Structure 1
Amino acid sequence: MRLILLISLLIISCNSLATVYRWVDENGKVHYSDEPKANAEAVELNENTQNEISIKTPPKAHVTIKEDKASVRYTIIITSPKEEATIRDNNGDLTVNVSVSPQLPRGSMLTLLVDGVLTEGPQTSAIFTLSGIFRGEHTIVVNAVAQNGKVLASSSPRKIFLHQASVLGPAKKSN
């Protein structure tokens, strides 16, 4: 039984090596077939017409692994104003100084949030100058932000108080 199957497979495979014929029809269209037609000519296939793929791998180079940026822990400390500092300014001006350790990677920026609202946009300077802040209690936070928008580090929230003189206050008694 196996012998008959093997012989039949060999016969079928020999037929697959048939000659390829090429002819042009009356419209000028070129056709190829394994069956001979009128005005068809046999096409000889060269061995170099077969597709061959070879994969060349480059030689292994010495690879140095850089320190993963995600493993670096940045520390942001608000150096001034101090915690629960009282600032007296009628214009609502405020200067926030920050210390960052270690140095931020290139392209990273610092942002300042006052009461959870982004007040000062991204900047490379560690000094923020604000104006027009209303009187009262405020919480400030500084974030280090990468180019893709990911927050690398945040400072601890700092509570401050801004006092402004009011025209509506009680009048002073004159002597």
Structure 2
Amino acid sequence: MRVGLILIVLLSMSYAHATVYKWIDENGKVHFSDEPVKNAEVVEFKKNTQNNIKLPEIIEPPIEDTPDAIDINNTKYELNIVSPSEEETIRSNEGNITIIADISPQLFSPHKLVLYMDGEKQGASQSSNLFKLKGIDRGEHTFTIKAVTKNGKQLASSKPRKVFLHRTSLNQPKILRPQPRNNN
């Protein structure tokens, strides 16, 4: 078994360093191949024709810019609700509201954002600054977003944002649409 494996490795190494042949056909077209052809000549590669790739030198950032050097649990974030605007009226019969926040500096990975509507936490904490709410009751709502650590310590909070959700009243009479007759 070992002898067979050694032979396979030696044969594959010989193919890796195969000879290259060059010849010109009757139409004057130049061809290259790893198999000899009549009137083919062996191509000798010079050192400057070989591929040499030099990778750029890796420059490490200064230590003070890395999160390990910063006490990330005492980071001072600036957090604002960008959309919807203050006292904006949103019209959605499904009760859908999208809240977008702006946070500076960028949120470190162990930190999360939490959305509060009328003082109640909405959904799970998340890394994204985009919150999509569905099935919200109509009326006035106040939203706040907080940046928290994984232990729940509050790092920052946005100013409260008042928003009005307009939904069609459930008490309105339904509009009856005529249905086509079935002539059977």
Pick the TM interval, shorter chain. 0.5 to 0.7
Aligned length in residues: 109
- Structure 1 unaligned blocks of 5 or more: 1-63
8 A Cα contact 1:120 1:128, kept in partner: no
Aligned amino acid, residue 152 of structure 1: L
Partner residue in 2 for 1:140 = 143
Q: Among 93, 113, 118, which residue is 1:115 paired with?
A: 118
1:4-153 to structure 2, matched below 5 A, reads 66-69=69-72, 72-153=75-156
**Counterpart position of 2:55:** none
Does the CA-based 8 Å contact 2:98-2:130 persist in structure 1? yes
Task: Report deviation, 1:94.
Answer: 0.5
Partner of residue 20, structure 1: none
Aligned twin of 2:171: 168
Q: 1:124 and 1:69, CA in 2 relative to 1: closer, same or farther beyond 3 A?
A: closer
Render the CA deviation track for 1:40-91: whole Å, top value 9, x for unaligned.
xxxxxxxxxxxxxxxxxxxxxxxx8934446532011111000000001011
Which one-letter code corresponds to 1:104 in the other structure? L
Unaligned stretches of 5+ residues in structure 2: 1-63, 176-184
**Secondary structure at the counterpart of residue 83 of structure 1:** coil
Letter in 1 for 2:151: N
Q: Percent identity?
A: 45
> In terms of Rg, which structure is larger?
1
